[in-house]
A and B are shown apart, each in its own frame.
Chain A
Amino acid sequence: MPKDSGIGASTKRREDVRFLTGAGNYTDDINIHGQAYVHFLRADVAHATINNVDTSAAADMPGVLHIFTGADFEPIGGLPCGWQVTDKHGEPMQEPKHPVLAHGKIRHVGEPVCAVVAETYAQARDAAEAIVLDLTELPAVMDMKSAVAEGATKVHDDLTSNLCYDWGFVEENKAATDEAFTNAAHVTTLELVNNRLVANPMEPRVAVGDYSPADDMHTLHTTSQNPHVIRLLMGAFVLGIPEHKLRVVAPDVGGGFGTKIFHYAEEAFCTFAAKQLRRPVKWTSSRSEAFMSDAHGRDHVTKIELALDSDNNFTALRTETYANMGAYLSTFAPSVPTWLHGTLMAGNYKTPLIYVNVKAVFTNTVPVDAYRGAGRPEATFQLERVIDKAARELGVDPIALRRQNFVTQFPYATPVAVEYDTGDYEATMAKLEEIADMGGFAARRAESEAKGKLRGLGVNCYIEACGIAPSNLVGQLGARAGLYDAATVRVNATGSISVMVGAHSHGQGHETSFPQVISEMIGIPEDQIDIVHGDTSKIPFGMGTYGSRSLAVCGSAMVRAAEKVINKAKKIAAHLLEASDADIELKDGQFSVAGTDKSVAWGDVTLAAYVPHNYPLEDIEPGLEETAFYDPANFTYPAGAYACEVEVDPDTGKVTIERFSAADDFGNVINPMIVSGQVHGGIAQGIGQALLENCAYDEDGQLISASYMDYAMPRADDLPFYEVDHSCQTPCTHNPLGVKGCGEAGAIGSPPSIVNAVIDALQSGGKNVTHIDMPLTPARVWDAMNNA
């Protein structure tokens, strides 16, 4: 019988009511009296020297308040990078300056060059057209391998080359790995591209800066996944504003998927200009601007090799990846192809030797950073594709080959520096075989063939590292921040509770799921508990929401704070019940003395805390509010197995997803309905990457897929109903809820099975196609079939 509240219940989301009635409060819904509007003049060339910026005519246009250029920001700090990677020689990465407004040079199409602030948005845009830029165009640095060749044009003149870093991992394993390849019975090699994507949350970014001279208070309303991180980065590194004079508010945010983690120039600009002009300054991105200013995702070019012995055991894995950084280092960009990618190359398998090489490269493109999965989809894709290719080359069943090489003993220390605490990969694979009805595939294939279509089945496993992260560990790896989280549990006098959390909900449903945990712990109804998030002036601290970390890290902080509250409340109850606090039990909102019928209600205890007439004031303080910071002991390791069935139209190359099944192990699950929804959305993004989405540039650095006219977003009729299951649960061993995180799994786990399925379909039709780079558009599939 499913539970109807607390942990494990599919409680309907309370936040839905405001979203369904048009009562949400998104950043663009915020209008401050007297606000001015900024329009950014953005570069329309990829690479150029700025000789002169003439704003004189524009400054005289109607409504213009001020025009800012790169020179205005020269004395101020640039946008900081939050992660320093050390290369294989032990040297720090090359780290270019990242100006708020381009100064001296333009380095990508869309880079903000001037900012025009005017009384209306239209006036600002009109005036921007009157700005005269004197530019000398330079060759665009686009192809990564050419970019790191000797004599290549440099994106940043003050760096030695376009190579950000050349990272080897684990460098000590390299010789042994190479030797294992020499001794291998079989080696499978695959060269592939992990296509550049644009995250495309449906809400474009918005920033509203405000300044109060009376108390020197700066406020930034922004579309962020992590307002405290923005406060830290922007206050400390860009504008020099101490935390107590800077409030960052991220109200309802319309999706993030990673791209709203980062600190952007527009945020710093609006905050800065509001003080300069003594006017609130608002910026609302158009979708067109979003395509050329939101950090992009993925964009890896990889060669992967898998060595097997004569019994088909994996003996070694070796990869070489070129990772596009774009023109500047976005906030967490360097960590994505390294620590979020290399550490996952073991996958679900006990491959003993692994060596990963990553060359991060600057190009004249929009900066690339974390997008749903961030590094882990890239790792999963190459690994699960090369395994599939190996199975075909060896003539063995791809599922059997995976099973044979599964990690089965936990904890398991991989050769790439991480330790999986729990998992059961056989269980999720068995569950997948069941829900995907693999037994019925042959009949379905026959039906498709009768219609003249090709049908294929593809499978893959995945593992991810979530719940980022132990601060001391990531500090060693180059993170310039701690990655704990924080929560305050504030119990009100009559027993209701407000929980201030550092995680930010922008679709994940924290306002519903977090109270389920507190309700379970205390035994009061969920509607007695509210979650407060997204405002640095209201919550103690927080590192925000990304990397499937909210429940595993911030939820753990909340549990710890609630435990402190309960411990204190038990002391108060003990006093009221004239018993020892060791004998007090809390259940269903009642404190009772073990083995007696004496009890006192939650609300009576909380009231006593705030009206302490009969209260042990000599021992404990009045009030009932506790804060906890939680720093995780390890990452969490969700894992699972996915299957996709496709139909391919051999006449057109069009791929249709006929079935998609996902068996996940997320550890314990708080709200199954929300977890399924997260998986659905992730799968849709994975299908988007595999079949539809492609952020493409031409050789001059012009963005070709610059709107929804050319960037194919998955629509309802591109997608099937999904079969998802999360009943296989091996709880995380090191956090109090035993949870692992579920937000990215779908996007990480789905692309390989789709490509594997298409290859299976084509081979079933006698086409010797072994790989097609994503997205598998009809044209690409047709080309591959006709060149096979």
Chain B
Amino acid sequence: MYAFEIERPSTIADAVTALKGEDAQALGGGQTLIPTLKQRLAMPATLVSLSAIGEMKGVCVGDDGAVCVGGATTHASVAKEAAAHYPALAEMASHIGDPAVRNRGTIGGSLANNDPSACYPAGALGSGATIVTNARQIAADDFFEGMFTTALDEGEVITEVRFPVPVAANYQKFVQPASRFALVGVFVAKYADGVRVAVTGASENGVFRWSDAEQALSGELSANAIAGLTVPADGMISDLHGSGAYRAHLVKVMTGRAIVAMT
């Protein structure tokens, strides 16, 4: 790691101020950033740790019924605290990384990083969540802009994520055997106004919505409804762990399994 200072503000306002410093970078749970720093792939002058900001932690239910998760809430906390309100989200959080990683890694960190194989982007996009920052609210549909790229501006902090609670939802992860990230992960959520299907792990552009499946499922939520669909292999990640064609195939298999689990 290159040398840097760490600041630990206790309020969002102080964090935002600290992030205005030259080459300042936010530090969530650090479970991805710290290994990146070890590889010397990042060179911040200051890391602004968000882990001491009490107002950014915890899960609550908003007036509109949405589940609101503080940006610095760990995966372990979401798994525990969201279970009663949004079981599919809690279940997804309970399988991110491993127990020790879940005790540090945060939802805000995961979404801001937008790793193409991470679970939370699928959960947020599949739920049509709203990403709340210190400056504004961003719809999930507008937030993810491709691999490791988001709509966040420099120094902008995810303070909260609001998840509308679906009628039913399920996340199916087929793990990459080494990293245990998603080789393909599919989050399916049924809302009153339709079904959302979000896919992670598969595309070179990061998380995406499988709109053909959404349309097919909005009529009838059953595995049969997607039986005739195929996922094109173009633009799918192809690597040591599977070809684009394999990932495309898994998208359909995992979607089917999510539907079966929901119905």
Counting chain B CB atoms within 10 Å of each CB, which of A126, A708, A779, A782 scores highest? A779
* Cβ A708 vs Cβ B178 within 8 A: yes
- Selected from A712, A779, A782, the residue in CB contact (under 8 A) with B178 is A712
Closest A-chain residue to B181, C-beta based? A709
> Which of chain A's residues has its CB closest to B98's CB?
A715
The CA-CA distance from A711 to B183 in the complex, in Å, is 14
Can you sample 8 A-B contacts with CB below 8 Å?
A288-B39, A651-B253, A652-B253, A654-B174, A709-B179, A777-B241, A778-B174, A778-B246
Residues on the A chain within 8 Å of B178, using CB:
692, 705, 708-713
Distance (whole angstroms) from the CB of B219 to the closest CB of chain A: 24
Complex interface: chain A residues within 8 A of B240 (CB): 694, 696, 704-705, 710
Interface members, chain A 758-788 (any B CB < 8 Å): 777-779, 782-783
Q: List, in ascending order, chain B residues with CB within 8 A of A704's CB.
A: 239-240
Chain A residue numbers with a CB within 8 Å of B239 are: 704
Lowest 7 CB-CB distances: which A-B pairs, in order?
A779-B242, A712-B178, A712-B177, A709-B179, A779-B246, A651-B253, A710-B178
Interface of chain A: mostly helix, strand, loop or mixed: loop
Is residue B192 within 8 Å, beta carbon to beta carbon, of the partner chain?
no
- Bound CA span A550–B178, Å: 33
Smallest CB–CB gap between B180 and chain A, Å?
8
**Chain A residues, CB < 8 A from B177:** 692, 712, 718, 777-778
Binary CB contact string for chain B from 16 to 42 against chain A (1 if under 8 A, 0 otherwise): 000000000000000000000011100
Give the complex CA separation of A651 and B250 in angstroms.
8
Q: Is B249 part of the binding interface, using a Cβ–Cβ cutoff of 8 Å?
A: yes
Chain B, interface residues (CB within 8 Å), range: 20 to 34
Q: In the complex, A126→B177 CA distance in Å?
A: 34
Distance between B81 CB and nearest chain A CB, rounded to angstroms:
25
Question: Which chain B residues border A783 with CB–CB below 8 Å?
Answer: 243, 246
- In the complex formed, the residue of B with least CB distance to A126 is B2
Interface centre among B2, B178, B241, B250 (most CB of A within 10 A): B178
Which single residue of chain A is at the shortest CB-CB distance from B246?
A: A779
Q: A122–B246 contact, CB under 8 A?
A: no
Which B62-114 residues have a C-beta within 8 angstroms of A? none
Complexed CA–CA distance, A705 and B177 (Å): 12
Q: Give Cα A651 to B223, complex, Å.
A: 14
Which residues in B have some Cβ–Cβ distance to A below 8 Å?
A: 1-3, 38-40, 174, 177-180, 183, 239-243, 246, 249-250, 253
CB-CB under 8 A from B3, the residues of chain A are 122
User: Across the interface, which residues of B come within 8 angstroms of A715, CB to CB?
Assistant: 180
Give how many A residues have a beta carbon under 8 Å from the other chain's beta carbons: 27
Q: Which residue of A lies closest to B184 (CB)?
A: A652
CA distance A778 to B247 in the complex (A): 11
A652 and B250 within 8 A (CB)? yes
- Bound complex: CA of A694 vs CA of B239, how far in Å? 13
- Asked if A782 and B179 sit within 8 Å, CB to CB, the answer is no
A782:B1 contact, CB within 8 angstroms: no
A746 CB to nearest chain B CB (Å) = 20
A22-48 Cβ-contact flags toward B at 8 Å (1 or 0):
000000000000000000000000000
The listed residue with most B CB atoms (<10 A of its CB), out of A122, A651, A704, A708, is: A651
- Contact among B38, B179, B243, B253 with A779 in the assembled complex (CB-CB below 8 Å): B243
Q: Is the CB of B174 within 8 A of A652?
A: yes
* Chain B residue contacts of A125, Cβ below 8 A: 40
Most buried by B among A652, A654, A777, A782: A652
Q: A710: which of B38, B40, B179, B242 is its contact (CB, 8 Å)?
A: B179
Beyond A692-B178, A715-B180, A777-B177: 6 further Cβ-contacts under 8 Å? A705-B178, A708-B178, A710-B240, A711-B178, A778-B183, A779-B241
A715 to B177, CA, bound (A): 9
CA distance A715 to B178 in the complex (A): 9
Complex CA–CA separation, A779 to B184 (angstroms):
12
Q: What's the nearest-Cβ distance from chain A to residue B175, in Å?
A: 10
Min Cβ gap A142→B in Å is 15
Contacts of B179 in A (CB 8 A): 708-710
